[in-house]
Structure 1
């Protein structure tokens, strides 16, 4: 699958490989077969699992439950190796750079695409689809006019799903 249809599905459904807010850590383990680093805060109140390209945050309970998930597209700019690794693991072909204009155009042709509210985050524009609990961060910093080992102006930094409230 190509990255844009994959991301359009993520943005419109708030689901990533069948996972969504409230999914358990064991469900994430079944969906992702890749190396990761776990960081539990000192009070045991949150867990962050970093797969390098995907990053999850969990809240405690009888089992850890997902509170956030980010696709860290900015990590692809440093070279094609990360994208190739995730293409093999997740069967999604990610480009080294992804322009917001391309993703926005695909969303505009998708009938179920949610309305997105834009806010300025100082160097980024955040496009938030509250109905799907998803946001897209786009770099607009003048320090990033040209693509290189970093993103250029108008490239997607990350796509995330989130919850404002801790899950039970």
Structure 2
């Protein structure tokens, strides 16, 4: 393998935003902002295979939830959910990646591949903190007009295919209004 190929393989293996060494980890909201702006997760993008996802996320703590016809499947890693369509030539092909931030309160829901990249993982991500991290990286939140449910506001980031769902009212004592519920990366 030539140097360019080796560098590309290394880039895929460690993903964007990874800084080797515990003192080089980023704040969780900075990690989220990097993934949102890139419309990727751990180097994965729309069209990734099941093997690519398993390699990037790691571990075997997941639940596969196929539909009855075997046409689509949800792979749930706790904090992260991937949606797959069955393709007769390519096998399972990823069509969605969602960070279910409302699950952060359960520490076991956070894959090590994410935990290794961040300094600390909060139990809740306030919208203001995510907005600040995005702005520090040149991004900005735009409220979407397609508000489907009264208890959520939806935001996007220019140049990104990501969709951010934010609570508009208290869900419980921890998840309060303006807490980020989930981030659909693609």
| TM-score for both structures, normalised by structure 2 | 0.74
- Tell whether the 8 Å contact from 1:100 to 1:154 is kept in structure 2 after alignment: yes
Name segments (4+ residues, structure 1) moved above 6 Å.
none
Deviation at 1:54, TM superposition (A): 0.6
Q: 1:15 aligns with which of 40, 44, 61?
A: 40
For 2:95 and 2:158, the matched residues in 1 are separated by 15
Determine the structure 2 residue equivalent to 1:44: 70
Determine the structure 2 residue equivalent to 1:100: 127
Deviation at 1:147, TM superposition (A): 3.4
- Tell whether the 8 Å contact from 1:58 to 1:64 is kept in structure 2 after alignment: yes
The Cα offsets for residues 28-66 of structure 1, whole Å up to 9 and x where unpaired, read as 011112311111111111011001111000111122111
Whose radius of gyration is greater, 1 or 2? 2
For 1:134-149, what aligned pairs fall within 5 Å after superposition?
Answer: 134-141=162-169, 143-144=170-171, 147-148=173-174
| TM-score for both structures, normalised by structure 1 | 0.81
For 1:52 and 1:74, the matched residues in 2 are separated by 10
For 1:49 and 1:19, the matched residues in 2 are separated by 14
Q: CA RMSD in A?
A: 2.0
For 2:143 and 2:176, the matched residues in 1 are separated by 22
Give 3-state SS (helix, strand or coil) of 1:28's partner.
helix
- C-alpha change, 1:110 and 1:128, in structure 2 (3 Å) is same
- Tell whether the 8 Å contact from 1:133 to 1:161 is kept in structure 2 after alignment: yes
Residue segments in structure 2 that go unaligned for 5+ positions in a row: 1-25
Residue segments in structure 1 that go unaligned for 5+ positions in a row: 163-168
For 2:51 and 2:158, the matched residues in 1 are separated by 26
Number of equivalences: 153
For 1:47-58, what aligned pairs fall within 5 Å after superposition?
Answer: 47-58=73-84
Deviation at 1:89, TM superposition (A): 4.2
Deviation at 1:2, TM superposition (A): 2.1
Deviation at 1:116, TM superposition (A): 3.0
